[in-house]
Structure 1
Amino acid sequence: MATLPDKDKLVRNFNRCANWEEKYLYIIELGAALPELSDSLHQPENAISGCQSQVWLHLVQDQNGKVVLQGDSDAAIVKGLIAVVFILYQQLTPAQIVAFDVRPWFEQLALTQHLTPSRTQGLEAMIRAIRHKAESLSKLN
């Protein structure tokens, strides 16, 4: 299983794609690199409403206080979008996730103008859910 790139490499890889077909293929490739989400985490409390596809997100903190994100979807492109979001949030604490605006990164990747309205809505639902769960984790500390 491949590991996910960091933010800078993600941007470089997107910029190397010649067209949107290549970018979609890269998004799907990123989704395939996500670690598998265990069946025990495919539960209603981890399901994200507001997405057309089925999406599950699970957040925990590691011993260093960083958030470890896990997720899955039944749709390849959506799973890839989960991977993109995870790359943007990787190695952050719950408070840093709450404070971090990922939208400029999506503009830098030119993602927002090429997603269907339902995918954009689902992406926003994922971001809201991650921020909400991170906020809950930060209150536990």
Structure 2
Amino acid sequence: MTPEKIVRNFDRCSDWEERYLYLIELGECLPSYPNSKMIDQYLIEGCQSKVWLDLGYDPESRELTFLATSDAAIVKGLLALLRIAYHGKSPQEVLHFDTQAWFEVLELRSHLTPGRSQGLEAIVKKVQTTARSQLAGFPPPLI
């Protein structure tokens, strides 16, 4: 799945109710998140719902890894979108991907509560900080 395919799939939805259902479906496809990492160290502050995020970096492939979950179905769908945008991408690709423009094309901002938008922004910033740290040769900061 690619960000472009997500845009096409969103365009096929007749209304926002269908888009929400699609987001929920995407969230159900997230890889399983280990219970052992559902602890405060991985909890993202600033999110309306509980969100656990485990970001990593594979030095062999030079790609970021993105594993996340939430206690809210819509938020899990939003996490699935971010996984599509970031998982398996190099730090340079992460930093060059215009997440805000993608969200505008998907019309996400106008259909999310302010709390969800704020949480989504906190996650994007965390991923970008991790990517910058990798480019600078530092390990990712603790969450």
Task: Work out the percentage of aligned pairs sharing the same amino acid.
Answer: 45
Across the aligned residues of Structure 1 and Structure 2, the Cα RMSD in angstroms comes to 1.5
State the TM-score, normalizing by the size of structure 2: 0.88
Q: Per-residue deviation at 1:48?
A: 0.5
> Which consecutive residues of structure 2, in runs of 5 or more, have no partner in the other structure?
none
> Which consecutive residues of structure 1, in runs of 5 or more, have no partner in the other structure?
none
Q: Distance in 2 between matches of 1:40 and 1:134?
A: 24
Would you say the 8 A contact 1:57–1:69 is kept in 2? yes
Q: Distance in 2 between matches of 1:110 and 1:7?
A: 14
Q: Distance in 2 between matches of 1:7 and 1:90?
A: 12
Distance change (3 Å), C-alpha of 1:95 and 1:43: farther
SS in 1 for 2:14: coil
Distance change (3 Å), C-alpha of 1:119 and 1:109: same
- Is 1:57 the counterpart of 2:53? The answer is yes
- Counterpart code for 1:140: F
Within the candidate set 26, 42, 49, 1:46 is matched to 42
CA deviations on 1:25-80 (whole Å, 9 max, x unpaired) are 00011100000111122122211000011001111123211111000100000011
Q: Matches of residues 5-24 of structure 1 in structure 2 within 5 Å?
A: 5-24=1-20
Q: Matches of residues 1-141 of structure 1 in structure 2 within 5 Å?
A: 5-62=1-58, 63-138=60-135, 139-140=137-138
Q: Per-residue deviation at 1:128?
A: 1.0
Q: Distance in 1 between matches of 2:27 and 2:122?
A: 18
Q: Distance in 1 between matches of 2:105 and 2:87?
A: 18
Structure 1 range deviating more: 121-130 or 131-140: 131-140
Q: Distance in 2 between matches of 1:30 and 1:129?
A: 21
SS in 2 for 1:36: coil
Q: Distance in 2 between matches of 1:137 and 1:48?
A: 20
